[in-house]
Structure 1
Amino acid sequence: MTLDFTGRVAIVTGAGGGLGREHALALAKRGAKVVVNDLGGARDGSGGSVTAAESVVHEIRAAGGEAIASTASVTDFSSVQDMVSAAMGQWGRVDILINNAGILRDKSFAKMELDDFRTVMEVHLMGAVHCCKAVWPVMTEQKYGRIVMTTSSSGLFGNFGQSNYGAAKMALVGLMQTLALEGAKYDIRVNSLAPTAATRMTESLFPAEFLQALQPADVVPAMLVLAGKDAPTRQILCAGAGGFEAAHISLTQGIWLPQSEDTAEQLASRLTEVQNRDQSVVPESGLAQGQLELGKAFQHRK
């Protein structure tokens, strides 16, 4: 099976360098018309320049592809709407959205300023919300859409000094879960990608020999699968250095306890049973938790 994107229109945010650039180039190489979005700012989100986006557009055009540049800040919904309008004006549709734009402002939680927490949340979470909101009417009307959130192991599993980044990245998974459910009847499939790659964002996190092994291009195959016609939905794919994994938010079977004065003590003594992952499930929606709990309750009433 060949992943062919001929005739598709893709928006890639944060595509002026690093992983976003690789995503944009790969989609264009496989036939997609690409909106290369990048504010052109520093790693912490400060500043801005058209150069980064235009450079990638030139690369795509030089290779025979079609692309336009956008310097819209994903934190500005009006600018994001203009970006989507530009894509519609140029090509008449938007099929793929890769929410890749992001910044880092790392510090331990004790030392972190609240403004740095809010700003990271604004770029990663609200930036993706703005882009999804802007393309949603287009995708529902054409009854086709592929949206990829960029999550992170820092959100899925935690990382010291990245409380703001981790919170934002896990929030994107929650956004994915609901948008995938709401988009299903329109064939809008929404997934998340957790990359491990050597980029400007991660150069201070790994030693030099690790950075050499973590090439951004190695993450791209996972993105292409999640953005393709036969993409899954509500999946979290992890990728880096040639490795590919799936992460899941699962629910154990747990136990049932009657309400009494010592229910908390009983729970504490049986917590390992609650945590037992045998027969754990990946719920199809948030209703599953309540259904499981009510099922146990009514079973014990008999």
Structure 2
Amino acid sequence: MRGRVVIVTGGGGGIGSEVSLELARQGATVIVVDDGSGVGGEPLAEATAQDTVERIEAQGGRAIAAAISVTDEAAIQKLVDETLATHGTLDAVVNTAGAIRFPRIVDGTAEDWAIVLDVHIRGHLTMLAATLPPMVAAGRGRFIAVSSGVGLARTSVDGPAYGAAKRAVAALTWQLGPRMPAGVSVNALSPIAATRMVRASLAFAGADPGGLDLSAMPQPEHMAPAAARMAGDAFGWCRGRVIFSAGPELSLIAPPRLVEAFATGGVGAAAALPTLGPVVLTPAHEQQRSTGGSNPRFGPLDAAAAPTAATGADSGRTCLVVCDDRDLADGLSAALTPWGHATVVVPVGVSGGPDPVAGFMAAEEGIRRAAATSPTGAGLDAVIVVHGLDTPDAAPGVLGLGEPASGVSASGVSASGVSASGVSASGGGPGSAVDWQAVLASHAGTAGAILTHAAWARAAARHAATSGQPLRIVHIVPATSPGGRSAAQAVTQLARCVDDTPAALPADHDGAPPAGGPARLVAFAISGESADPADAVPLAELAARLVAADDALPLAGAELVLRPGWIGLRTHPGPAATLSLAGADLGTWTDDALRDALDPFA
């Protein structure tokens, strides 16, 4: 790193500080960015960036303190401009800045969610937008994001906002990295270490802060070698990957990958799902692998297996459909009718915009009214929330169907001339025509979309807890753009956190628990990656089955996807290969092993 110039955000403490020290030891000039905020994002204005600079200078290194926030777009852009003017180069960025709040879904406030998403998503996008252009212009550069295990294979019932945000960071990395031009790489580090976030999390869970002994955990300084390696020239071959570090071990994290799929153009999803759901999707979700590849698992499918109109004991249930697309809302209502569900349709009503508090209140009021005005008079049994990117140039209609949202041109093209979806109707993969700039642009509303689903999830959790009535919620996220796919993955991570959360009353509930104790909220998520109107029917049938069928309950938190002509199940992101350092330094052997994990025949 000798002669290199590197920006490290969150460099005032923990992993960021240790990464800054390591880069300086290797000869880099380090710009330490940290506004001195607390672990929860509270403004403390501590001189943490200067503290790290003084530690570096005491060891003979070169560093500059920048006491600014990654969420301050103007300040970050000014910093980058000044760095280029002074040093003539910007060679790498390590974006470790973060904040965490701990309440479970039933207690989390709009402020909790907004602060965490603001730092981890909007702040991350701010850093990418400011630093990638000069790297691309120079033809070289490294950007290292920071994700977390609780946004990947694991969940965090006490930090669903953090887990959802970190999944969005990983999803953006997987999509952006392969599209960067030659010489510029974007990767992510997923570390685990005894940081102040871990200490705060354990204290929140009831541990005595004074008695915590985290010496057995990897320490922040153990994360620095991997980050420094990823910031160096030799690691430029790796693009769009997430590397988990536990100090003496590194793991290559595989993105969600398809393990099961079935066509929706045969007998139809309504007829196929009674068989394929419990026989194919559920075992694959539980085992996180395909159960096919041997003897056939089922016989011919029969269209007669589709549900018929419910009567008597099977009827009298109510589902709230939160949707701005009138045609899709009608389709969902039609699909729910055979299951005995009457529907109440309301607009999304939560923008995630300048006043998220009002959005959270609107969601809670929407559920309260739906329960009070249930057509059956029996309260509320389920909620379906359909919401995608919350931007003025969002694609017309939900999944490209029905009436367009307000403020969208008939062509679906924004003023910048970029397609609203940024990709083809099929959703587009890394090989599609969309470039890295369009990928970033498509993420402008990702945090807002996640915030909207969080508002309705919290409102549903609170209703289930206070009413004592079991409730299912299905999150449908339009995902025909890269930003939409990141939002869909983040919302799936939210659903997984909800499903791992024990039933509990909200903290501000001042009444006695309902008879029998509080009920449990069960959450599902579907990534809608098709803009073909023909896929509206199987989408509605899948959502209806998740709402109503008992055999669908094991699919709670599954990574379900709708693509043109088919429905599929993806795995959760998880380790594909692990490298044990065995006391050795990171080096060419590390790169060779990672390459072999990616392609043993390369």
- Which range moved further: 249-258 or 93-102? 249-258
Letter in 1 for 2:430: S
Counterpart contact for 2:174–2:255, Cα < 8 Å: no
- The residue that corresponds to 1:173 in the other structure is 170
Per the alignment, do residues 279 and 124 of structure 1 end up closer, same or farther by CA in structure 2, a change over 3 Å counting?
farther
Kindly state the Cα deviation for residue 278 of structure 1 after the two structures are TM-superposed. Answer: 7.8
Letter in 1 for 2:65: A
- 2:445 matched to 1:285? no
Letter in 2 for 1:270: V
Out of 216, 219, 226, the residue aligned to residue 223 of structure 2 is 219
Q: 1-side partners of 2:35 and 2:145: how far apart?
A: 18
Letter in 2 for 1:266: T
Counterpart contact for 2:14–2:195, Cα < 8 Å: yes
Unpaired runs of 5+ residues, structure 1, are 298-302
- The residue that corresponds to 2:234 in the other structure is 230
The 5-angstrom pairing of residues 181-260 of structure 1 reads 181-183=178-180, 185-206=181-202, 208-231=212-235, 232-257=238-263, 258-260=266-268
- Which range moved further: 227-236 or 70-79? 227-236
Q: 2-side partners of 1:241 and 1:34: how far apart?
A: 22
Query: For residues 174-197 of structure 1, what are the alpha-carbon distances to aligned partners after superposition, in whole Å with 9 as ceiling and x for unaligned?
Result: 2212321231x2421111111111
Query: For residues 119-162 of structure 1, what are the alpha-carbon distances to aligned partners after superposition, in whole Å with 9 as ceiling and x for unaligned?
Result: 10001111111011001111011011111111001111211111
Unpaired runs of 5+ residues, structure 2, are 294-427, 433-528, 531-562, 568-602
The 5-angstrom pairing of residues 37-52 of structure 1 reads 37-49=33-45, 51-52=47-48
Kindly state the Cα deviation for residue 38 of structure 1 after the two structures are TM-superposed. Answer: 0.5
Q: Secondary structure at the match of 1:146?
A: strand
Query: For residues 87-117 of structure 1, what are the alpha-carbon distances to aligned partners after superposition, in whole Å with 9 as ceiling and x for unaligned?
Result: 1122111111111001111100100001210
Per the alignment, do residues 253 and 233 of structure 1 end up closer, same or farther by CA in structure 2, a change over 3 Å counting?
same
Letter in 1 for 2:228: L
Kindly state the Cα deviation for residue 57 of structure 1 after the two structures are TM-superposed. Answer: 1.0
Letter in 2 for 1:233: R
Kindly state the Cα deviation for residue 52 of structure 1 after the two structures are TM-superposed. Answer: 1.0
Counterpart contact for 1:139–1:186, Cα < 8 Å: no
- 2:80 matched to 1:84? yes
Query: For residues 62-102 of structure 1, what are the alpha-carbon distances to aligned partners after superposition, in whole Å with 9 as ceiling and x for unaligned?
Result: 22221111011111100111121221122111111111001
- The residue that corresponds to 2:157 in the other structure is 160
What TM-score comes out, normalization by structure 1 length? 0.86
Counterpart contact for 1:197–1:211, Cα < 8 Å: no
- Which range moved further: 145-154 or 231-240? 231-240
Q: 2-side partners of 1:130 and 1:213: how far apart?
A: 32
Letter in 2 for 1:138: P
- The residue that corresponds to 2:289 in the other structure is 276
Q: 2-side partners of 1:276 and 1:49: how far apart?
A: 48
The 5-angstrom pairing of residues 64-75 of structure 1 reads 64-75=60-71
Per the alignment, do residues 67 and 147 of structure 1 end up closer, same or farther by CA in structure 2, a change over 3 Å counting?
same
Counterpart contact for 1:219–1:240, Cα < 8 Å: yes
Q: Secondary structure at the match of 1:41?
A: coil
Counterpart contact for 1:45–1:103, Cα < 8 Å: yes
Q: 2-side partners of 1:128 and 1:71: how far apart?
A: 17
- Which range moved further: 205-214 or 263-272? 205-214
Q: 1-side partners of 2:292 and 2:134: how far apart?
A: 40
What TM-score comes out, normalization by structure 2 length? 0.45
Letter in 1 for 2:77: Q
| Aligned positions, number | 287
- Which range moved further: 207-216 or 99-108? 207-216
**What percentage of aligned pairs have identical amino acids?**
29
Q: Secondary structure at the match of 1:262?
A: helix
Q: 1-side partners of 2:284 and 2:86: how far apart?
A: 58
Per the alignment, do residues 228 and 205 of structure 1 end up closer, same or farther by CA in structure 2, a change over 3 Å counting?
same
- The residue that corresponds to 1:300 in the other structure is none
Q: 1-side partners of 2:189 and 2:292: how far apart?
A: 26
- 2:71 matched to 1:108? no
- The residue that corresponds to 1:63 in the other structure is 59
Letter in 1 for 2:223: V
Q: 2-side partners of 1:23 and 1:71: how far apart?
A: 17
Counterpart contact for 2:177–2:241, Cα < 8 Å: no
Q: 2-side partners of 1:92 and 1:278: how far apart?
A: 55
Q: 1-side partners of 2:44 and 2:85: how far apart?
A: 25
Q: Secondary structure at the match of 2:143?
A: strand
Moved over 4 A (4+): 277-280, 293-297
Per the alignment, do residues 134 and 262 of structure 1 end up closer, same or farther by CA in structure 2, a change over 3 Å counting?
same
Letter in 2 for 1:133: A
Q: Secondary structure at the match of 1:191?
A: strand
Per the alignment, do residues 259 and 285 of structure 1 end up closer, same or farther by CA in structure 2, a change over 3 Å counting?
farther
Counterpart contact for 1:148–1:223, Cα < 8 Å: yes
Q: 2-side partners of 1:279 and 1:78: how far apart?
A: 53
Q: 2-side partners of 1:204 and 1:278: how far apart?
A: 41
Kindly state the Cα deviation for residue 259 of structure 1 after the two structures are TM-superposed. Answer: 3.7
